Amino acid sequence: MLPYAPFLVWLLPLVASALMPLAALHPKVRDLFPVVVGFVTAAFALSMIPDVSAGPPYPNPQISWLLVPGLIEVKVGVLLDPLSVFMCNIVAGIGSLILLYSLAYMAGEEGITRYWFFMLLFIGSMIGLVVADNFLWLYIFWEMVGLCSYALIGFWYKKPEARKAGVKAFIVTRIGDVFFLAGIILIFLNTGSFAFSDLKGTLEAFKVLPYALSTVPFLLLLGAIGKSAQLPLHVWLPDAMEGPTTVSALIHAATMVKAGVYLMARTHLIYMEAAPEAWLTALIWVGAITAFLTATMGLTAVDIKRVLAYSTISQIGYMMMALGLGASAGFVFISQFHLMSHAIFKALLFLAAGVIIHSLAGLRDMRKMGGLWRDAPVTFYTMVVGVLALGGVPPFNGFWSKDLIFAAALETGNYAALFLAVVTAALTLAYGLRMIYLTFLGEKRSEEVKKMHIHEPWVMRVPLLILATLCFITGFTGENFAGFMGVLTHNGEVFHVEPLSVSLSIVALLVGGIPAYLVYWKRSPPPENFARGGWGALQRLLSEGYYFDKFYYAVFVDGLKAAVQGFRKTHPGILNFNISLILGGLLLLAFLLLMLG
């Protein structure tokens, strides 16, 4: 590895983000500096691969931190194992491509220095999150990426929807974070350490508090549900699409929402065979149900970015499900393999959508688009590659990784979850094709789109082409990737093509693809037919997202407001009255203390 790579790989972007105000003194430096930092970070991340591919023991440099002699000693450091180095490369690699793309996408925006600052801060803290070797640092970085997400969703703070979406994302993920923090505190109380490596050896020590061994993974799961936007805390991610498309691509598709999957994979690796059965089952069902429900929501969304957001949630559901199928490193590999495929094709899809949105001055409604493929051929073809990979069409990477998940579900006998997963695969291809048709094919359906000029500069085309190539290549690297993750493959135990699961994939493709082709390409029946009668009711239910959002607003926003209004009546605003109540309260407290103490 390059010298000091385990530390520099996350310190470099963090320090660079602090230097942004200095770099902003010159407009050219301001824009080029973060891109250069991004690529240097990616080089550092790449250089760490050879060090871990040899297998354990993995490098784990530590320093002493929070030292109270004789009482507390918290050792912190970075852990380089296949999982962390892999995530590190995803973040740094895709992050650098997106920074490059931002040069064109964000050119001339107001507050661009703020944008670069938060992007660099995000890349630094996300890499810090995945290389941290203890739960304390993981949590600190976890909150830092949450902050960056909030600030970047609300980047266009003059738009009220963007402000609201940022706050919503912040608050909803916070619900999960509270449980996550509770889990971390339980771990520390029981083992006296935050480090993953200590935890592995002291699982039996989880006896101080009863049930801690089986409660902790559930608390961590709730944290992951918030961060990875799984049901029932998924409502923030579709709204987060108010941010710039580059932000959606980097934070809300490729990296930050994967932090929950990473956390679950990490917990999985710590617990291994000791993983509670109920936790694994919860993972399977959270994943499978999320994957299915959000895929159906994606079918009716009309905002191109919301389709992609629903599809992100749905694909993360697959990863969660893969982790729950069994307690061994093989399942971590399967979920990480799908994570890699998804990070690549979803970043590609978002960046391709970004070209369109950028050219159409922020228009995201697919009903007004159409016929754009002649204007933006590179975007069109790369987006088709992305949709085929997302839908799981061979030979693109999505096919291989999804097939592994099906095979694993078959092997472990989780047929109900497998059924949901296959149906989801069919729906995925259907909404992918619908998106392609509505955006690029047919007639241009509105005047404003007709008079807009679409342009795709090379600085946008290059990342698209690189990602499209990767979509093609990475599908075939499963064997190597399994070896890298330390999973045995030579006996064909993990990586092999199962005829049954492949045929399931093919069936799903036909079931999803043929109706989409008939409805949109052949117009028999035409899509308008589905807006009436029973289909119309279903369509409304789906486009309202099963009323999750409405329900949360009614209960937690309006309900809380009403409760506060009721409570406010006890505040008459008469100072004498308030003081008398305070006196009474103090007396009561003193009385209680005397009686009980």
Partner 1 sequence: MDVASIGLTGGMLLIVLGLYCLATKRNMIRLVLAAEIMTNGAIVLLVTFAATPLGMVNPAIVAIAILAIGIGGCVAAIGLAIALQAFRHYKTLDVRELKRLRW
Residues that bind partner 1 (CB under 8 A): 568, 571-576, 579-580, 583
Residue type, 316: I
CB-nearer residue toward partner 1: 302 or 579: 579
Q: Buried (b) or exposed (e) across 353-373, using 16+ Cβ within 10 A? A: bbbbbbbbeebbebebbbebb
CB-nearer residue toward partner 1: 491 or 576: 576
CB-nearer residue toward partner 1: 15 or 583: 583
> Residue 172 to residues 14, 146, 553: CA-CA distances in angstroms?
26, 11, 12
Least separation in angstroms between CB 568 and partner 1: 8
328, two tokens: 């061994």
CB 51 within 8 A of CB 80: yes
Least separation in angstroms between CB 588 and partner 1: 15
CB-nearer residue toward partner 1: 524 or 576: 576
CB 48 within 8 A of CB 80: yes
Torsion sign over Cα 69, 74, 77, 79? positive
Least separation in angstroms between CB 212 and partner 1: 42
Least separation in angstroms between CB 585 and partner 1: 12
Where would I find the H helices in 132-207?
135-153, 160-191, 196-201
Task: Give SS3 for 47.
Answer: helix
Q: Locate tokens 């029981």: which residue?
A: 190
CB-nearer residue toward partner 1: 564 or 596: 564
Task: Give SS3 for 67.
Answer: strand
Least separation in angstroms between CB 575 and partner 1: 5
CB-nearer residue toward partner 1: 453 or 568: 568
CB-nearer residue toward partner 1: 413 or 585: 585
CB-nearer residue toward partner 1: 566 or 572: 572
Least separation in angstroms between CB 557 and partner 1: 19
Vertex 235, ends 326 and 225: CA angle to 5°?
A: 25
Q: Tell me which residue of 332, 318, 327 sits closest to 406, measured CA to CA.
A: 318
Least separation in angstroms between CB 580 and partner 1: 5
Least separation in angstroms between CB 471 and partner 1: 56
Q: Which residues pair with 195 in a beta bridge?
A: 134
Cα separation, 370 vs 437, whole angstroms:
7
Cα separation, 430 vs 508, whole angstroms:
10
CB-nearer residue toward partner 1: 32 or 588: 588
Other beta carbons less than 10 A from residue 513's beta carbon: 17
- Residues present in the chain in total: 597
Least separation in angstroms between CB 40 and partner 1: 51
The DSSP 8-state label assigned to residue 58 in this structure reads P
* Residue 410: its H or E element: helix 397-412
